[in-house]
Amino acid sequence: MFALFFVWPAAIGLYYSFTSYTGVGPARFVGLDNYTSLFADSSFYAALTRTLLFTLMVVPATYVVSLLSAVLLTSEYTRGKTVARVIFFVPWLISPIVAGVIWRWLFGENFGLVNYLLLQVGLHEVAWQSNGNLSLIIVVIASTWGSTAFTMLLFIAALKSVPKSYYEAAALDGAGPWHKFRYITLPGIAPTSFIVVLLGTIGAMKEYALIQALNGGGPGSENNLIVQYIYRTGFERAQIGYASAASFVLLLILMVIALVQMLVNRRMEANR
């Protein structure tokens, strides 16, 4: 099964990426043509840059917010943790499609709650949908909102496994909360942090449903992400060979990112 649905598609995908296959008829071998035209295609670059930009914003945002909420949920100083946990989890349950609808509803230009509130406090309405950068930021917010709970769960498990005696020792040495967090908590959850960043990066690089529901990659095609690009060329324009080439570029990028992160992780562990 594994071979059938992962190894085999990968292999024929690699083969088709060298052909001009359109889904029907014979696949004509065209060598590296797909790759050369891909690297000459400005909309491919645009999609790639947008994807990287999106990843660079989502991953740190999710990391910070979910770590903060995990710390607060495991802290002895907070009240009402049970209710808070349930509420934090709801966004994770909501499908990316519905999440897209929710944020579109909040940030609508003529009817959204956010613009209404801005007007109430005497500010101007903001063009959330027709400004490409702003609409990307909304996707970042929505994505962070939706993926916090899962990451938070990983952090909670990690925080619980940091030995309590370290904190007691630090307290005797007169360490403040920030020092404890910086020198005990952060190193203690380092393996989890690594996983979170890795999974987050991979997840963000292949985001599709949320952006599709939120703004359809718009305004125009300004916020098309890489998977959208693959979907459009492969399934709407039936250039399967070309889309396969784009898939492989994405795959290669993911692998490089994963390798770099693993190397950095190893080096950090060696230094400790």
Partner 1 sequence: MSATTAQRPSPSAQRKAAQRSRRRAEAPRTLGATAVLWLLVVVYGVPVAWFVLSSIKPAGELFSYPLTLFSKQPTLAGYSQAWTQFDFYRYFGNTLLVATITTVLTVIASAAAGYALAKYRSWWLSAFAVCVIATTMLPTEVILSPSFLVVRDLGLYNHLAGVIVPSILTATGVFMFRQFFTTVPDELLEAARIDGSSELQTFFRIMLPISRPIMITLAIFSFQWRWNDYIWPLIVLNDPKQYTLQIALQSIVGAENVNWSVLLGASVISMAPLVLLYLVFQRYVMSADLNAGLKD
87: number of Cβ within 10 Å:
11
Give the nearer residue to partner 1 in terms of CB position, either 134 or 190: 190
Q: Are 250 and 172 in contact (CB under 8 A)?
A: no
Q: Within 35-64, which residues bind partner 1 (CB under 8 A)?
A: none
Nearest distance in Å: CB 94, partner 1 = 5
Residue 202 binding partner 1, by CB under 8 A: yes
* Four-residue CA torsion sign, 77, 154, 140, 61: positive
Nearest distance in Å: CB 235, partner 1 = 6
Q: Within 232-261, which residues bind partner 1 (CB under 8 A)?
A: 234-235, 240, 243-244, 247, 250-251, 254-255, 258
Question: Applying CB under 8 A, which of residues 40, 42, 86, 122 lies at the interface with partner 1?
Answer: 86
Three-state DSSP state, 19: strand
Joined together, the tokens standing for residue 74 give 């495991």
Nearest distance in Å: CB 40, partner 1 = 20
Angle (nearest 5°) at CA 246 between 244 and 249: 110
Residue 73 binding partner 1, by CB under 8 A: yes
Q: Within 137-166, which residues bind partner 1 (CB under 8 A)?
A: 145, 148, 153-154, 157-158, 161, 164-165
Question: Applying CB under 8 A, which of residues 44, 63, 88, 128 lies at the interface with partner 1?
Answer: 88
Nearest distance in Å: CB 135, partner 1 = 15
Question: Applying CB under 8 A, which of residues 111, 127, 186, 269 lies at the interface with partner 1?
Answer: 111
Instruction: Please state, in angstroms and rounded to a whole number, the distance separating the CA atoms of residues 189 and 186.
Output: 5
Paired with 19 in beta bridges are 29
**Which DSSP helix (H) or strand (E) runs through 85?**
helix 81-93
Phi-psi region of 153 (alpha: psi -120 to 50; beta: other; left: phi over 0): alpha
Nearest distance in Å: CB 180, partner 1 = 13
Give the nearer residue to partner 1 in terms of CB position, either 35 or 231: 231
- Residue 108 is classified by DSSP as -
